[in-house]
Structure 1
Amino acid sequence: MADEKDAFYVVRKGDNVGVYKSISDLQAVLRSSVNDPSVSVFKGYGLSREAEQYLSSHGLKNAIYSIDASNVRDDLFGKVVACPFRHPNSSKDKVTGKNPLEKRPLQDVVGSASFPINPQQKHAKLDFLQVPPVSSYCSSCIIEFDGASKGNPGPAGAGAVLRTADGSMVFRLREGVGTATNNVAEYRGAILGLKYALQKGFKHIRVQGDSKLVCMQVQGLWRTKVQNMAELCKVAKELKDQFVTFEICHVERDLNTEADAQANLGIHLKSGEIQVECDIPKA
């Protein structure tokens, strides 16, 4: 798994190119460019000192758009992955009528997919840095999961959201868990998302949630000391082994709001009852 501290983002806006070292650095340009079709975003790891010096010599400093795309060498960025941004589209925004970009986590604006790029494109020029159609991501999926328990233990629900690799939401899932702890509900949310992704034929998976316990145990980095948690972890590991590629990471709670909303809706369902909402983008 690539180290996020070495991540960088290449942003092309028309004929100009900017490079950013962290998601937070992207905030201003992406929030002002959500509906701009000329903007595309790509993610890479380990920007070389030579590349930084080259960019600086051509006028690019502090991520200001001042280098022309025609000046970008073929091998400047190495391997990069499509990291398209999207317009946040939550039911909460629709109800309140608030600006959906206002005070929203930036990870809701830029996708965080890290799936392998076609090796033939590894050293392609920025001419190819245009966001591919969603259909090219048909086998890749981002799963966001969460769990909720009112009382811990108490009435509990599990939630999951499935997105295509470009960040477009396609499924919202929620399940009633009965009376359970928050940790059990979190595991049930992850398992709910994994099962549905398999059912829909996804092969390459990135899973993220705000339960560090689930993320670390599924990776085998933390031990499972409680029997029911060990059983849930075993189920999750058996599911993950059925995918061609699998990645799981912990995110902060404010980056997991949609899955959290589904988990809280799941509290009101009967134990084992599952509801699915489909939100497949129109062609």
Structure 2
Amino acid sequence: MGSELPARDHILRQLTDHLDDDTLRRIFPDQHPAAIRDLLLGRQPTTAVNRATAAPTARSATAGKAAAACRLFTDGASRGNPGQAGAGAVLLGEQGEELATCSVYLGTCTNNVAEYKALLVGLEEAQRKGCGQLAIFLDSELIVRQVQGRYKVKNETLLPLFRQVKERLDRFDTWSIAHVPRAQNARADQLANQGIDRQNG
């Protein structure tokens, strides 16, 4: 006799935790992955991404043109925790071309603060370049899950940075955020470390 099936809520939570953004986008191409996760968990979706019904948001400088689809990779580096830190971001266009890079010295902060500040730097650059549709990639699973709404932000230092990120995300037509292995984020990591090295040079 087979073992008893797990509870429905447990199954839904496991699916929510293990289905990545790319898989959800393939299954539900007109919806944002975070909205699908909210529905699976019985929460009111916090990210409206069906462009036919989404509420108007602040537009970029390219309003009236077709919104550019961009990919953003960001990384924060801290030598010590806290320690001297840097932020790196690389913005790619629709064909994978490099649209912009950012390398910034952040002073002394924790690694998680550096990760958030790197994301803010990248979002600012993406808006400046007129990206309307933005796919964001970080190797910090904590930051990704906090922005997705899967983890609550409990650290009082991170909370204002989290709010700034959410406010800037509202300026894009659509956005998604996903975790990638560190090896796939090497360019942003290199830029973050260059920020520290430049200060120490």
* TM-score range relative to shorter protein: 0.5 to 0.7
Q: Which has the higher helix share?
A: 2
1:166 offset after TM fit, Å?
A: 2.1
1:169 offset after TM fit, Å?
A: 1.4
Matched, 1:150 2:79: yes
Matched, 1:187 2:116: yes
Matched, 1:218 2:147: yes
Change (3 A) 1:222 1:4: closer
Alignment-derived partner of residue 266 in structure 1:
195
CA distance in 2, matches of 1:165, 1:175: 25
Q: In the TM superposition, what are the counterparts of 1:1-283 in structure 2 within 5 Å?
A: 3-4=19-20, 45=26, 139-269=68-198
Alignment-derived partner of residue 54 in structure 2:
none
CA distance in 2, matches of 1:226, 1:4: 25
Change (3 A) 1:153 1:6: closer
Could you list the per-position Cα deviations for residues 105-142 of structure 1 after superposition, in whole angstroms to 9, with x for gaps in the alignment? xxxxxxxxxxx9xxxxxxxxxxxxxxxxxxx9871110
The DSSP-based 3-state class of the residue aligned with 2:131 is coil
CA distance in 2, matches of 1:138, 1:235: 23
CA distance in 2, matches of 1:195, 1:145: 12
Runs of 4+ in 1 over 6 A off after TM superposition: none
CA distance in 1, matches of 2:124, 2:189: 18
Alignment-derived partner of residue 37 in structure 2:
none
5+ residue gaps in structure 1? 8-43, 47-78, 80-115, 117-135, 271-283
RMSD between aligned residues: 2.5
CA distance in 2, matches of 1:148, 1:238: 23
CA distance in 2, matches of 1:5, 1:195: 23
Higher RCO by CA contacts (8 Å cutoff, separation 6 or greater) = 2
Max radius of gyration: which structure?
A: 1
The DSSP-based 3-state class of the residue aligned with 2:95 is coil
The DSSP-based 3-state class of the residue aligned with 2:197 is coil
1:232 offset after TM fit, Å?
A: 0.5
1:165 offset after TM fit, Å?
A: 2.2
5+ residue gaps in structure 2? 1-15, 30-49, 51-64
Q: Normalising to structure 2: TM-score of the pair?
A: 0.66
